[in-house]
Amino acid sequence: MMTEFIHVLYKQHWQATLQPGKNWSAKSSWSFLRRRKMDLKGFLIRPSFTCGGVVSGESGFIGSEGFPGVYPPNSKCTWKITVPEGKVVVLSFRYIDLESDNLCRYDFVDVYNGHANGQRLGRFCGTFKPGALVASGNKMLVQMISDANTAGNGYIAMFSAAEPHERGDQYCGGRLDKSSGSFQTPNWPDRDYPAGVTCSWHIVAPKNQVIELKFEKFDVERDNYCRYDFVAVFNGGEINDAKRIGKYCGDSPPAPIVSEQNELLIQFLSDLSLTADGFIGHYKFRPKKLPTTTAPPPTTPPPATTLKPTVAPCQQKCRRSMSLESNYCSSNFVITGTVITAVTRGGSLHAVISIINVYKEGSLAIQQAGKNLSVKITVVCKQCPSIRRGLNYIIMGQVEEDGRGKVLPNSFVMAFKTKNQKILNTLKNKRC
């Protein structure tokens, strides 16, 4: 890491950029503080950074290129961190200001276990400062990517070395590879978990086994959309919305979970406000069930049939298929909401829905403005199903690559009534 300049901060606000050896000394720093009427308690100095690098030692700082200035567009900067053998890396973000996006698709910082782009511990953007992240070993990789558009001041983070099984209020997580075990929030069961914590547990079983996961006690700050404190469980070893099994909060333990393969990733995140009791979870490995190979009974060939010509989607009869219950599991997303805008473009209807409740999110891109949440959906055939501005609906559908909801003629859409809420809550708590 090359230190080119030193930035002076006072109570987290930058005051000056000084070049060591030219305009920086103990005397000049004291005069600088006196002129600004500052006290030494709020005085800090931070280095400026190039685009990534290799750092090692017991502790140190890394940051975005040119921090605290605006980071450059179209850049990819990678830091490789190594602490002494036998220790683990703990990374704490001190400041973060990147382009904000619900899915962190544009400018973001990825944090990985080890020096390869393997197990991702987290992806971060916007201005929310996550809690400390812990690697399972003595190496960590931090990569920041920016696009061509909006930028911010970037980030600065401190890394330090810790004992592998050291416990405390500031961090948690790690790799779990024994045949059974447990994991819990910091401070469990004595007091509430702390604010501003990020924990990632990576459970790895042998190749021919799967993981069974069960939460014994569970109490995480309640929110209809689990926006603030939550537990997310993923198939595989990285945080990937396409592989997310579920996102949980409140005081009802999730139903038991069984992994598809031999890896699970559990992420716990608390924001900087309310906290709760936390949770304790248990896992165990079990053999993967092999499909049975019984011979099929003899069959006679079916009579020849004439194939029906393919009917274009918008020429099909406009009616929803089956019931609310039967459509729930086959849909990528399930929401209730109010139609705010509805515009016809090229035979399709493009609508913005103000969310009343989310029952199944999938990879749906949910936008937040203050306390209001909204989503964008496309009704592929503009009148099928028909939705009107200002009315409330239950909407089920699929999700496009950009996170927009897609509603087909046979998707389940109906007027929302309060009595439907009980059925939807029941379906949300059942396993598909």
45-54, 273-282, 290-299, 310-319: range with highest mean pLDDT: 273-282
- Compute how many other C-beta atoms are within 10 angstroms of the C-beta atom of residue 220: 24
Helix, strand and coil content of the chain, in percent to the nearest 5, comes to 10, 40, 50
Q: What angle do CA 247, 406, 366 make, to 5 degrees?
A: 40
Q: Give the type of residue at 306.
A: T
- pLDDT tens-digit profile of 169-199? 445 777 788 899 999 988 888 888 877 677 8
What predicted TM-score, i.e. pTM, was given to this entire model?
0.46
- pLDDT tens-digit profile of 346-366? 788 999 999 998 898 888 888
* Mean predicted confidence (pLDDT) in 27-41: 42
Greater confidence (10 vs 74) lies with: 74
> How does residue 382 score in pLDDT terms, banded at 50, 70 and 90?
confident
Helix (H, G, I), strand (E, B) or coil at 330: coil
CA 243 to chain centre: 11
The backbone torsions φ and ψ at residue 158, rounded to the nearest 5 degrees and listed phi first, read: -110, 135
Mean model confidence pLDDT for the chain: 79
**pLDDT above 90 for 432:** no
Exposure letters 330-342 (e unless 16+ CB within 10 A, then b):
ebbbbbbbbbeeb
Residue 400 CA to residue 242 CA, distance in Å, equals 12
Query: On the CB side of 242, how many CA atoms lie within 13 Å of its CA?
Result: 4
18-22, 126-130, 157-161, 239-243: range with highest mean pLDDT: 157-161
Residue 366 corresponds to which tokens in the numbers above? 């949910």
> How does residue 327 score in pLDDT terms, banded at 50, 70 and 90?
confident
Residue 351 CA to residue 344 CA, distance in Å, equals 9
Helix (H, G, I), strand (E, B) or coil at 418: coil
- pLDDT tens-digit profile of 239-295? 777 788 999 999 999 999 999 999 999 988 887 678 899 999 999 999 987 554 445
Residue 202 CA to residue 237 CA, distance in Å, equals 6
The backbone torsions φ and ψ at residue 260, rounded to the nearest 5 degrees and listed phi first, read: -75, -40
- pLDDT tens-digit profile of 64-113? 998 888 999 999 999 999 999 988 898 988 889 998 876 678 899 988 88
**pLDDT above 70 for 307:** no
Rg of the chain, C-alpha, whole Å = 26
Residue 186 CA to residue 277 CA, distance in Å, equals 10
Greater confidence (18 vs 427) lies with: 427
Q: How far is CA 223 from CA 210, 226, 230, 300, 328, in A?
A: 31, 5, 9, 56, 21
> How does residue 154 score in pLDDT terms, banded at 50, 70 and 90?
very high
- Smallest Cα–Cα separation from 266: which of 340, 208, 183? 183
Domains of the chain by range and CATH?
Answer: 49-159 (2.60.120.290), 173-287 (2.60.120.290), 323-429 (2.40.50.120)
Residue 79 CA to residue 112 CA, distance in Å, equals 10
| pLDDT score, position 306 | 45
Residue 342 CA to residue 376 CA, distance in Å, equals 10
> How does residue 298 score in pLDDT terms, banded at 50, 70 and 90?
low
> How does residue 215 score in pLDDT terms, banded at 50, 70 and 90?
very high
